[in-house]
Amino acid sequence: MFDKPKLLKEHWDGVKKNGVVVKEGHAKDFPKLKNSKEYEVSSQKFLNNPPKDTLTGIRKGKGWNKQENDTVRYHEKSNKFAIMSKDGTIRTMYKPDPKVHGFKTNKEYFHHETRTIIE
């Protein structure tokens, strides 16, 4: 579950200030999901019961938007990328894009986000 309903809404719908989008939501990444509740359920399912070929790592670094001991998952076939805190709180789920994160591939981005691989 997301920590707060406001965070869930922001992750789904995005954030607007003075009518201007300052943070895109992830609704566009998951067009088959109808609303934020379905997004939350899908995120929880992916994080707690990922497909067999999902890469999983634990963040060891701290810094802006990087919490120590977060679990990071990336499934290449579906292009799902998700993060949860060590207590199981969902931080996010989205479909990464090299044009946004700047790495050659999404797999390379995953390896940047976490250094420890758990098979």
Q: Is residue 28 part of a domain?
A: no
Instruction: Give 3-state DSSP helix, strand, coil % of the chain, rounded to 5.
Output: 30, 30, 40
Return the number of other C-beta atoms located less than 10 Å from residue 13's C-beta: 17
Domain count, the chain: 1
Task: Check which CATH number belongs to the domain holding 72 and give it.
Answer: 3.10.450
Q: Is residue 18 part of a domain?
A: no
Can you tell me whether residue 85 is helix, strand or coil? coil
Q: What is the pLDDT of residue 101?
A: 92
pLDDT in tens, 4-53: 888 888 889 888 888 887 788 999 999 999 999 999 999 999 999 999 99
- Residue 107 carries which DSSP code? H
Strand-pairing partners, residue 118, are 56
Q: Is residue 26 part of a domain?
A: no
pLDDT category, 119, cuts 50, 70, 90? very low
Q: Is residue 20 part of a domain?
A: no
pLDDT in tens, 37-93: 999 999 999 999 999 999 999 887 665 456 778 899 999 999 999 999 989 999 999
Phi-psi domain of 25 (left: phi exceeds 0; alpha: psi -120 through 50; beta: other): beta
Q: Is residue 37 part of a domain?
A: yes
Distance in angstroms (rounded) separating the CA atoms of residues 38 and 30: 10
Q: Is residue 60 part of a domain?
A: yes
Q: What is the pLDDT of residue 2?
A: 82
Can you tell me whether residue 94 is helix, strand or coil? strand
Domain that holds residue 103: 5-13+33-118
